[in-house]
């Protein structure tokens, strides 16, 4: 009988025993053959082991990739968490698993997999249990025998927990929770490779969880923004309704005050002293200003809600009406009023009353701010699909740094020379802009102090040919 040890480089893996049923002793040659045979068997064993390991590694790598793909496509956090714990438990071949996430910095919620039904998973206060140790050190804990650890908990011992492996779920340098795996059968243990694999899954899970949290956060921020925008819009609408109601309520008493003031001025109620007449004149002027303000406010709100008529308008008729309206004023101010209106202009679509209001405002301003001897010019021409209207004057002009603001409500330019032009509410140009924009048009101003100002309005030309006499 002869024995030949089967040696791998680090350990003895078996023995080759050779028997002979005749009493012939083994020769030197037999021993050599036995040794060669033992060597061959060892090499074959080693190769088989390597192959099995390689196969195992390939399978694990493939599963890991599958898990990663499944996780990255998922948008729901609880689904991600249960996928992670199921995949990790199955891939590593553990008997059960649990995943804990830190919420509000103090507790861990568990996602159990395959744990006995009687397991009670309470949120764990900071610092208690092995999982918190993993979180705080950001390092894995692996125990071959859980019961012998000083921090072992009664309920887990009762459940029969033997081998324990817990790895941190990391996102960068921050630990988000733990991934824990259990063997409930005595003698089963976790290997280095199991620990590596669990670590890799923990890292992948960390990235996915963090991404989902960021997405959730930005969703919440977007929602909060939408809510506050909706609230702002509601407040704006309430404010508009309020202003509209007030304007409406003011109109009647203002009309009555004006009527009585005019009655007193007419002398029907008896002759007044000159001082009384002056007072009544002031009342009339101020009431007229207030009425203008109230009217402007109403039109502003109407422009915002687009409560306008739409009808075809011939630009040259609109301009002729403006020229007629301002001829007398031009003579009174001793200002030259001129018009340059191109022939064959296309029609435009709009609300004639409000468009007249636009040019009324621009022309009134032009006269108000142009000294005696100056010019006010009205020009209209076509450019592509647009009709361009221009009101220009050779008046006091405006400083460049204030041009941006003149279309704001109640804004009035600080001008040295303006003192002789009191009154005005600062609403006129805001109104002009709202009306033009409600017509889908644009307004632009250029101005130079002591040289003059030019306001340019562009409105779309009507495409379809319109039969004459539509205005
Ligand atoms: P207001 O009721 O004060 O005229 P507007 O909104 O019509 O209000 O105009 C705002 C300010 O823009 C005016 O107060 C005036 O200072 C300036 N402005 C408007 N048009 C002209 C112009 N043609 N020339 C010089 N300044 C002007």
pLDDT reported for residue 423: 61
Burial 405-415 (b: 16+ CB within 10 A, else e): ebbeeeebbee
What's the 113 CA to ligand 1 centre distance in angstroms?
75
Nearest-atom index, ligand 1, CA of 424: 2
pLDDT at 144: 95
Query: What pLDDT does residue 106 have?
Result: 61
Expressed in angstroms and rounded, the spacing between residue 328 Cα and the centre of ligand 1 is: 21
pLDDT tens per residue across span 127-153: 888 888 999 999 999 999 999 999 888
* pLDDT of 365 higher than 50: yes
Q: How far does the centroid of ligand 1 lie from the alpha carbon of residue 380, in Å?
A: 22
- CA gap 202, 101 in Å, rounded: 12
Residue nearest to atom 20 of ligand 1 (CA): 365
The predicted-structure confidence for 172-213, as pLDDT tens digits, reads as follows: 889 999 999 999 999 899 999 899 999 999 998 898 888 888
Ligand 1 atom 11 nearest Cα: 412
Q: Which atom of ligand 1 is nearest to the CA of 418?
A: 16
Whose Cα sits closest to atom 18 in ligand 1? 365
Distance 402 CA to ligand 1 centre (A): 11
Across 365-369, average pLDDT: 94
Which is more confidently placed, 243 or 275? 275
Q: CA dist 457 to 384, 389, 445, Å?
A: 14, 5, 9
Residue 164's pLDDT is: 96
Question: If you measure from the C-alpha of residue 425 to the centroid of ligand 1, how many angstroms do you get, rounded to a whole number?
Answer: 9
Rounded Cα gap, residues 350 and 355, in angstroms: 7
Instruction: Report pLDDT for 98.
Output: 92
List pocket residues of ligand 1, CB cut-off 6 Å: 361, 365-366, 369, 393, 395-398, 406, 411-413, 415, 418, 424-430, 453
Pocket test for ligand 1, best of 297, 405, 412 (most atoms within 8 A of CB): 412
How many beta carbons lie within 10 A of that of residue 276, not counting itself? 13
Stretch 109-133: mean pLDDT: 83
For residue 406, how far is its CA from the centre of ligand 1 (angstroms)?
A: 7
Residue located nearest, by CA, to atom 21 of ligand 1: 365
| Other beta carbons less than 10 A from residue 224's beta carbon | 10
Closest C-alpha residue for ligand 1 atom 25: 397
pLDDT-based confidence at 470, cuts 50/70/90? very low
- Answer yes or no: is pLDDT of 386 > 90: yes
- Position 464 confidence tier, pLDDT thresholds 50, 70, 90: low
Whether pLDDT at 356 is above 80: yes
> Between the CA atoms of 351, 356, 362 and 367, what dihedral angle is there, to the nearest 10 degrees?
180
Contact 146, 68 (CB under 8 A): no
Q: What is the percent of the chain where pLDDT is above 70? A: 95
Given a cut of 50, is residue 419 above it in pLDDT? Answer: no
pLDDT above 90 covers a percentage of the chain that reads 47
Shortest-distance atom of ligand 1 to CA 402? 12
- The whole-number average pLDDT for the span 65-78 is 81
- Three-state secondary-structure class, residue 122: coil
Of 288 and 464, more confident: 288
* Chain segment 432-463, per-residue pLDDT in tens: 998 999 899 999 999 999 999 999 999 999 87
| pLDDT tens column, 234-261 | 998 888 888 888 888 888 889 999 999 9
How confident is the model over 162-175, as pLDDT tens digits?
999 999 999 988 99
Residue nearest to ligand 1 atom 7, measured at CA: 428
The structure tokens 């005005």 sit at: 424
* Residue-wise pLDDT tens digits, 297-344: 888 777 776 677 889 999 999 999 999 999 998 998 899 999 999 999
Task: Give the residue-averaged pLDDT of 81-94.
Answer: 90
pLDDT at 471: 44
Centre of ligand 1 from the C-alpha of residue 302, in Å? 22
421: pLDDT confidence band, cut at 50, 70 and 90? low
Position 285 pLDDT exceeds 50:
yes
Q: Measured at the alpha carbon of residue 300, what is the angle toward residues 299 and 306, in degrees to the nearest 5?
A: 85
Q: Is the model's pLDDT at 30 over the cut of 50?
A: yes
> pLDDT tens digit string along 52-66?
888 888 887 888 888
Over residues 81-109, the mean pLDDT reads 86
Centre of ligand 1 from the C-alpha of residue 223, in Å = 42
Task: Please choose from 365, 415, 428 the residue to mutate so as to test ligand 1's pocket, defined by most ligand atoms within 8 A of CB.
Answer: 365
Contact present, 163 and 190 (Cβ < 8 Å): yes
Region for 310 from its dihedrals, namely left if φ exceeds 0, alpha if ψ lies in -120 to 50, beta otherwise: beta
pTM over 0.85: no
Atom of ligand 1 nearest to the CA of 414: 16
Tokens 């004006």 correspond to what residue? Answer: 258
Asked whether the beta carbons of 170 and 138 are under 8 A apart, the reply is yes
Ligand 1 atom closest to residue 366's alpha carbon, by position in its atom list: 23
Query: CA-to-CA distance for 378 and 336, rounded, in angstroms?
Result: 11
| CB neighbours of residue 230 within 10 Å | 10
Average pLDDT of the segment spanning 342-368: 93
């Amino acid at each position: 009988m002869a024995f030949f040890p089967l040696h791998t480089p680090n350990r003895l893996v078996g023995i080759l025993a050779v028997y002979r049923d005749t009493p012939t002793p083994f020769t030197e040659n037999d021993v050599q053959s036995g040794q060669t045979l033992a060597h061959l068997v060892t090499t074959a064993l080693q190769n088989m082991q390597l192959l099995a390991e390689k196969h195992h590694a390939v399978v694990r790598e493939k599963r890991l990739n599958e898990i990663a793909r499944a996780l990255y496509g998922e948008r729901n956090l609880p689904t991600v968490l249960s996928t992670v714990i199921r995949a990790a438990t199955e891939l590593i071949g553990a008997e059960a698993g649990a995943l804990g996430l830190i919420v509000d910095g103090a507790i861990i919620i568990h996602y159990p997999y395959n744990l006995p039904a009687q397991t009670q998973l309470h949120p764990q206060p900071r610092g208690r249990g092995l999982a918190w140790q993993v979180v705080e050190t950001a390092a894995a804990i692996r125990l071959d025998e859980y019961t012998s650890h000083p921090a072992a908990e009664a309920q887990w011992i009762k459940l029969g927990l033997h081998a324990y492996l817990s790895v941190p779920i990391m996102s960068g340098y921050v630990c988000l929770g733990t991934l824990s795996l259990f063997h409930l059968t005595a003698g089963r243990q976790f290997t280095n490779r199991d620990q590596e694999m669990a670590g890799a899954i923990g890292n992948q899970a960390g990235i996915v969880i963090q991404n989902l949290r960021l997405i959730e956060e930005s969703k919440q921020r977007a929602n909060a923004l939408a809510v506050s925008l909706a609230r702002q819009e509601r407040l704006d609408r309430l404010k508009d309704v309020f202003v509209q109601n007030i304007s409406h309520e003011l109109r009647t008493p203002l009309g009555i005050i004006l009527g009585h003031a005019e009655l007193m001025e007419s002398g029907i109620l008896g002759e007044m002293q000159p001082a009384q007449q002056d007072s009544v004149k002031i009342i009339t002027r101020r009431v007229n200003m207030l009425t203008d303000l109230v009217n402007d406010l109403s039109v502003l709100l109407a422009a915002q809600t687009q409560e306008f008529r739409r009808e075809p308008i011939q630009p040259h008729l609109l301009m002729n009406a403006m020229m007629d309206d301002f001829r007398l004023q031009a003579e009174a101010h001793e200002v030259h009023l001129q018009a340059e209106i191109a022939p064959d202009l296309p029609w435009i679509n709009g609300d004639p009353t409000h468009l007249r209001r636009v040019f009324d405002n621009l022309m009134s301003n032009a006269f108000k701010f142009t000294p005696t001897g100056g010019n006010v010019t009205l020009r209209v021409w076509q450019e592509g699909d647009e009709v361009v209207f221009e009101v220009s004057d050779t008046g006091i002009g405006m400083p460049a740094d204030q041009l941006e603001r003149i279309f704001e409500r109640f804004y009035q330019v600080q001008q040295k020379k303006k003192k002789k032009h009191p009154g005005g509410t600062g609403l006129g140009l805001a109104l002009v802009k709202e009306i033009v924009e409600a017509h889908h048009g644009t307004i632009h101003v250029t101005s130079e102090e002591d040289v003059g100002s030019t306001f340019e309005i562009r409105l779309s030309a009507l495409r379809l040919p319109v039969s004459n006499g539509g205005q």
